[in-house]
Amino acid sequence: MGRRRNTLAAACWQSGEIDVVAAKEVPQGTIVLAKGEQAHLEAAIQGSARLSYDGKTWLVPGVPEADDGDAALNAALLYRNRLGNSLRRVQQEAADA
């Protein structure tokens, strides 16, 4: 029997901050952006998100700058699609290696 890997989720807070958490423990009030293995998620986020001024926190582009909740939600949903594409590329590259 193969070893089962833990699935993680990238979740977006209303502020635009991205947290990577256990998929079974996604915080209430967040939007799930993508699910996958930690290394793949982190690589996809680093290639598509914006790093905040503290140099540690990843942000969904457009959410912190949004004029209202609708604009923030739209930015988060657009980013979810972009992150999904980035994650698929990272996963494919890992499979091809």
DSSP for 17-86, written as a single string: BEEEEEGGGPPTT-EEEEEE-HHHHHHHHHTTSEE-TTSS-EE-TTTTT-SSHHHHHHHHHHHHHHHHHH
pTM: 0.89
Domain boundaries, the chain: 8-96
pLDDT tens string 6-49:
799 999 999 999 999 999 999 999 999 999 999 999 999 999 99
